[in-house]
Structure 1
Amino acid sequence: MENQTAENSPSEQRLIKLSDMANAAHLRIQQDFAQIDPVIGISRNMRKNGVPADVMTIDCLKTSKRIIVILHDQNPEQVLYKFAFKEQDPAGDFSQIAFAEFNQQVLYDWIKSYFSPAVN
């Protein structure tokens, strides 16, 4: 009975943590900025296509802006991210942040700053 289920794998545990952080950030954003109302999705398509990674997208339907977050099994200590647009393929390199420094406050700040209309 040493069969390790997918639920116990390190990649699954990171994805669960990411999902929990995103849910907490989403709740705060909805309370503080009802006009943003982000849509969060998790995709395992890369993994299904042989790439050992999972993707989370955070979309703002009003602006078509998208935040892409990637958890890659080959670099589990890092989170890759990109500020992009929903209708465009992301160009250029992704930025990185240490998974240990990544939290719901970081997500909240990204959503707030990238999806909010400019103040002035």
Structure 2
Amino acid sequence: MTEAPLKTLSDLANEAHNRIQSTHEHINPVVEVRRGMRDAGIPADVMTIDCLRTQRRINLILHDQQPGIVLYQFVTREETVGGEFKQIDLATLSSTTLFEWMQDHFG
């Protein structure tokens, strides 16, 4: 996989992270890119956004076999991975969308 989709997603998450921290002091999300799936031979990159206070997580997956698509789900940190993933086009995903997800899921 080229790094471009992961860089795009990382940039959007960084913008949303900065905005959420300046707007909601009680939400301090931790953004992490995980290479575990790729290291295990699955052609995908995972980004998690965690809220330690609420123990909730947003999983975001970029899968090589679905270029231009971000798979996402809202779970708890205990669940790690829930059931079904929803999807959104990376081209339509914005930092505002990520901000709203964090605000709604972590607030």
Deviation at 1:93?
Answer: 1.1
Q: Residues 73 and 82 of structure 2 are in contact (CA less than 8 Å); yes or no, is this contact kept in structure 1? A: no
Is the aligned partner of 1:115 residue 2:106?
Answer: yes
Instruction: Tell me what 1:79 maps to.
Output: 70
1:94 and 2:85 equivalent? yes
Distance 1:76 1:91 in 2: 22
- In angstroms, what is the RMSD of aligned CA positions? 1.0
Post-superposition offset of 1:99: 1.2
Render the CA deviation track for 1:37-89: whole Å, top value 9, x for unaligned.
10110001101110000000000101100000000010012110000010114
Give 1 or 2 for the bigger CA radius of gyration: 1
Quote the Cα distance in structure 1 between the aligned partners of 2:106 and 2:86. 18
Amino acid at match of 2:71: L
**TM-score normalised according to structure 1 size:** 0.86
- 2:73 corresponds to which letter in structure 1? K
User: Aligned partners of 1:100 and 1:23: how far apart in 2?
Assistant: 16
The answer on 1:21 being equivalent to 2:12 is: yes
Equivalent position amino acid for 2:97 in 1: V
Residue 62 of structure 1 is matched in structure 2 by: 53
Identity score, percent: 48
TM-score (ref. length: structure 2): 0.96
Pick 1 or 2: higher relative contact order, CA cutoff 8 A, min separation 6. 2
Total equivalences in the alignment: 107
| Counterpart residue type for residue 41 of structure 2 | G
Deviation beyond 6 Å, 4+ runs, structure 1: none
